[in-house]
Amino acid sequence: RQIRRNVTELHCIFPFEEDFLRGHGVPARYVGHPLADEIPLQPDQAGARACLGLAAQGPLVAILPGSRVGEVEALAGPFVQAALHCFRERPELSFVAPLVNARLQRIFEAILAREAPGLPITLVEGRSREVLAAADVVLTASGTATLEGLLLKRPMVVGYRVHALTYQLVTQLRLVKVPYVAMANLLVGRALAPEFLQGRCRPDLLAPALLAFLDDPARVGTVQAEYLRVHESMRHNAARAAALAILDLVQGAK
């Protein structure tokens, strides 16, 4: 209601937003997503590995436990335990984790030392997009990273936890009405990225889901084809489209 009262026109970056907002009386226009324009349709995996100083060959798993302190504290444990489980089954695997800043890296390192000592993992400050491009499969928190993973055509496993009381309130009051939490799955319309939420965000469930992607090239190909389709549909030269829409509004107001 506040948006409807205060906004002349809302420019949407996701395709499903326009109809939803218009259905609630908000003047909306879909202009495309700037990241879809910015990220190339075909990612350069070899180039990303070279830029990060990672081995050119061999399966690589990216671990993205979130960009906030609470997320890293909640997710780093099960994520690195899952990675360690994968490594014990597949010693040829290597791992890389981008952390937003030095503070989060220190938190992650402490959890890593406690939960998965000896795990061969490269830590990178920032550069999450390059890390995603370099990887073969991704274990990630739900958030913007799943959109970037889609645009970079990377098969993903999604894990997420919130405070138990928050989760209880959200579920009992039915505050979340979407079928998925990962933006990649919402855009595709099905759970191509398996989601493990709250009590199911456990190493014994996350690790097999990661290994399943590594063992199934045909499934990975299907995921990549779907992600490419969505990426192409979101390319609308968003910056120009939004600028032209603003010009239309300004000229119409004269």
pLDDT tens digits for 20-47? 999 999 999 999 999 999 999 999 999 9
- What does the pLDDT average to over 77-93? 97
- 165 pLDDT higher than 80: no
pLDDT at residue 254, rounded to an integer: 63
- 217 pLDDT higher than 70: yes
Mean of the per-residue pLDDT values for the chain? 93
Q: Can you point out the beta strands (E) in 31-89?
A: 60-64
41-50, Cβ contacts within 8 angstroms, sequence gap of 24 or more: 41/228, 41/231, 41/232, 42/153, 43/133, 43/152, 43/153, 43/154, 44/133, 45/133, 45/134, 47/133, 48/130, 48/131, 48/133, 48/134, 49/134
pTM of the model as a whole? 0.91
